[in-house]
């Protein structure tokens, strides 16, 4: 019964939060707030765990965002409709290097997180990240379906 209640509260919070978020012109800070609340509740973080977890997780996200920003800057330099074989090879190699770096960053930070949280919670975090992304995408699609009707 406790799990059902918690799940209902989580779903309601998420739905209300995403509705509020989308009403505010896609503010990234709103997504971050929703993510913090969602992860804290789903991982059942104690105050001590949260104090240790969030700084490490924030560093993880900053490092990933820098990697994505660098990749985005590189992609701006090319016209994808007119790529030479040489440019295509370079972009493919760069993409594979990007994926390798992303895995290395993830490994490094999950090792740090597992020193603050149990391995069970660390693994659950990986699953929750995917769940959070899917929920955001679902809410986004639902919002745009309603707008087109």
- Residue 146 phi/psi, 5-degree rounding, is -65, -35
- Residue 26 phi/psi, 5-degree rounding, is 55, 50
User: Which tops the pLDDT comparison, 148 or 138?
Assistant: 138
User: What pTM value is reported for the model?
Assistant: 0.72
Residue 38 CA to residue 44 CA, distance in Å, equals 10
Residue 146 confidence (pLDDT): 72
Count other Cβ atoms within 10 Å, centred on residue 43: 19
Residue 26 confidence (pLDDT): 58
User: Which of 122, 117, 127, 131 has the alpha carbon at shortest distance from 49?
Assistant: 117
Residue 28 CA to residue 33 CA, distance in Å, equals 9
Chain mean pLDDT for the chain: 84
Angle, CA of 44, 124 and 19, to the nearest 5°: 70
Residue 27 contacts residue 21 (beta carbons within 8 Å): yes
User: Which tops the pLDDT comparison, 28 or 102?
Assistant: 102
């Amino acid at each position: 019964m406790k799990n059902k209640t918690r799940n209902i509260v989580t779903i309601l919070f998420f739905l209300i939060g995403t509705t509020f978020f989308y009403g505010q012109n896609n503010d990234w800070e709103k997504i971050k707030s929703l993510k913090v609340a969602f992860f804290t509740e789903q991982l059942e973080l104690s105050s001590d765990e949260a104090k240790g977890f969030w700084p490490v997780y924030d560093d993880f996200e900053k490092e990933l965002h820098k990697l994505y920003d660098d990749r985005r800057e590189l992609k701006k330099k090319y016209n994808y409709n007119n790529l030479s074989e040489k440019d295509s090879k370079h972009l493919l190699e760069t993409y594979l290097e990007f994926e390798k770096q992303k895995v290395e960053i993830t490994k490094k930070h999950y090792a740090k997180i597992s020193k603050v949280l149990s391995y069970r919670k660390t693994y659950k975090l990986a699953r929750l990240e995917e769940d959070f992304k899917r929920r955001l995408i679902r809410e986004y699609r639902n919002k745009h379906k309603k707008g087109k009707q």
